[in-house]
Amino acid sequence: MNPLKVALLGCGTVGGAVLRLVEEQAADLTARVGRPVEVVGVAVRRPDRHPEVPAHLLTTDAMGLVTRDDVDLVVEVIGGIEPARSLLLAAFEAGKSVVSANKALLAEDGVALHAAAAKAGVDLYYEASVAGAIPLLRPLRESLAGDQIRRVVGIVNGTTNYILSRMAETGAGFSEALAEATELGYAEADPTADVDGFDAAAKGAILASLAFHSAVTAADVHREGISSVTATDVARAAEIGCTVKLLAICERVPGEEGDSVAVRVHPAMIPTSHPLAAVGGAFNAVFVEAEAAGQLMFYGQGAGGEPTASAVLGDLVAVARNRVAGAAGAGPSAYADLPARPIAETPTRYHVSLDVADVPGVLATVATEFARHEVSIATVRQDGHGDAATLVIVTHSAPDAALSATIAALREVPAVRGVTSVLRVEGLS
C-alpha cells in the first residue's frame, strides 16, 4: 500500500512528540487508516537544534514542503499568525488537508481558513488547539450537532489554573505562585499570554464559534487576566464558599431583537460545590450545558507534548481516513450568524472590596452610589481597623456597565480610600 505522506511544520515539544508517536504507532495507524502514514519532511528554523530528527527529513523551506506533489497531509504546530497562515492557505490551494494546533490563528482567521479548505475540498481539523488531550471540539461539532448549546464554561489554561490552585492551597500571593509555576515548567519565561488571558480568549473564541454556529473571533472576547488577583481575594472567596478560577465563558443570550453570543475570559469566584471548582493544578475542564443533553463535563490534561500530540494524532487519523475515502469531513457551520454581545450589557454578580474611613454614614454613602446606578446589594460585611474599615460587598446580578459606573463613582467619594478588589461571582447553575 502506498503510504499517506505527511509534512510536519514545527518540531518543538508537541511536534517532536507527534513525530515519535507516528513512528512508534506505525502499525496501529496503518490498521486504523487503511494505509501507512509516513512523515516525509519536518520544517524547522534551525535544523542543528534537532539532532534527534533524521537529517534527511529536516528542511528550512516550509513553503516548499507543504506544496510538494507527494505530500498528502500537513500537520502545523509552529503557532502564531505568520508564516502559519500563509503556509496553511498554500497547503489548501495545493489540495492538502491540514491538522493544526494553532489557537491564535484559528481564533483570528478561522472563517477564512475554513472557507479556503472548503473551496479546495479538503479538511481543517484542530482538536489540539483548545484543551490538549481532551476530546472537546469534535463533540461540539458532531456529537451535539442535533442539540442547542446554551453555555460553555471552561478552565482552558493550565498555567493560570496551577497558579490559582497554589494560591488557594498555600495562601501564597500571585508573584510567589507564578515563580513556582515557572520553576516547575508550567509557565513560560514570558507568561503574558497565559496570565493576561490571551491564550484563554483565543480558545473561548474557537469554542463559541463551534457551539453557537457563529463566526466569533478573539476580538469579540472580553479579556481580563489574573495578575491582579491577591491572596486576600482568594481567602475572601473561601469565606463565602467559593474558589477563584480563570474562566472562559461562552453563552447564548436571548434578547428582544434575537439571540446574541457573549464570550468573556476573566477570574471569577465560583462555588466550591461546582465540578469546575475541584479542577486543580495544570488540568483543564470544560462544562457544557445543552437543551436536550443537559450538563456535560470534559476533563483532562490541557497542555504538554504528549497530551497535545494525542489530539493531533486523533485528527491525523480522521483526515487520513477521509483522504483514503476520497472525501472531506463536514466542517463547522456558521449559519446562525449570531452577533457578539458587548461586555457592558452582560450581567454578572460582583464581589467588591473597599477601604473606607471608619466614620458615621460611610456605609449609607456607599450604598447610595450602588442604588444610584441600579446595582442591588446582596450582602455587606464591614471590618474595622483603627480609623479605617474594609467593606466587602456582594451584589446581585447587574450589567457590567452599571457596575463599572458604580466603581468609578465610588473612587470619587472622599470617605472611600480605595477600591481594592472587584471580582465577578459566577453561580454556574
**pLDDT tens sequence across 17-74:** 999 999 999 999 999 999 999 999 999 999 999 999 999 999 999 999 999 999 999 9
Whether residue 103 is annotated as binding a ligand: the answer is yes
Residues 147, 282: one domain?
yes
- Which residue has 457578539 as its cell numbers? 340
Domain shared by 277 and 144, yes or no: yes
Torsion region of 365: left, alpha or beta (phi above 0 gives left; psi -120 to 50 gives alpha): alpha
Return the beta strands (E) in 272-408 as ranges.
283-290, 294-301, 347-357, 377-385, 388-395, 398-399
Is 188 labelled as part of a ligand binding site?
A: yes
- Considering the domain architecture, whether residues 232 and 272 belong to the same structural domain is answered as yes
Residue 333 domain-assigned (yes or no): no
Question: How many Cα atoms are found within 13 Å in the side-chain-facing hemisphere of 112?
Answer: 10
Q: Is 10 exposed, middle or buried (0-12, 13-18, 19+ CB in 10 A)?
A: buried
Residue 393 inside a domain? The answer is yes
Candidates 391, 418, 392; CA nearest to 407 is 418
**Is 171 annotated among the ligand-binding residues?**
no
331 is a domain residue: no
Q: Enter the pTM of the model.
A: 0.94
Say if residues 400 and 346 touch (Cβ distance below 8 Å).
yes
Cell representation of residue 428: 454556574
Instruction: Check residue 333 and give its pLDDT.
Output: 86
Cβ atoms of residues 380 and 393 within 8 Å: yes
The CATH number of whichever domain residue 158 belongs to comes to 3.30.360.10
In the predicted model, residues of the chain with pLDDT beneath 70 are: 386, 428-429
CATH of the domain at 411: 3.30.70.260
Residues 222 and 100 in one domain: no
Boundary residue ending a domain (267, 301, 335): 301
Residues sharing a CB contact under 8 Å with residue 330, sequence separation 6 or more, in sequence order: 141, 142
Give pLDDT tens digits for 100-114: 999 999 999 999 999
**Host domain of residue 198:** 137-301
Q: Cα dist. 250→259, 308, 380 in Å?
A: 13, 23, 30
Residue 10 among known ligand-binding residues? yes
What beta strand segments (E) does 54-212 contain? Answer: 58-59, 73-76, 97-100, 124-125, 149-155
User: What is the C-alpha separation between 244 and 233, in angstroms, rounded?
Assistant: 8
Q: Does 19 map to a domain? A: yes
**Are 244 and 371 members of one domain?**
no
* Domain shared by 11 and 36, yes or no: yes
Residues 296 and 150 in one domain: yes
Candidate list 5, 96, 203, 245, residue with the active-site label: 203
> Looking at residue 429, what is its pLDDT?
57
Residue 31 counted as domain residue: yes
Residues 351 and 419 in one domain: yes
Q: In terms of domains, do 171 and 214 share one? A: yes
Determine whether the annotation assigns residue 250 to a binding site.
no
| CA–CA separation, 409 and 403 (whole Å) | 10
Q: What pLDDT shows up at residue 384?
A: 73
Asked whether residue 286 falls in the same domain as residue 164, the answer is yes
119 is catalytic: no
Cα(134)–Cα(196) distance, integer angstroms: 23
Question: What is the CATH number for 13?
Answer: 3.40.50.720
Helices 13-24 and 26-33, axial angle in degrees (round to 10): 80
Q: Is residue 107 part of a domain?
A: yes
Nearest to 153 by CA among 255, 266, 242: 266
Q: Are residues 239 and 371 in the same domain?
A: no
- When divided into structural domains, the chain yields a total of 3
* 318 and 349 housed in the same domain: no
Q: What is the amino acid identity at position 370?
A: F
Does some domain include residue 336?
no
Q: Is 369 within a domain?
A: yes
417: cell is: 480610600
- Cα 189 to Cα 10, 94, 204, 226, 429: the distances in Å are 20, 37, 24, 17, 37
Kind and range of the H or E run holding 165: helix 158-170
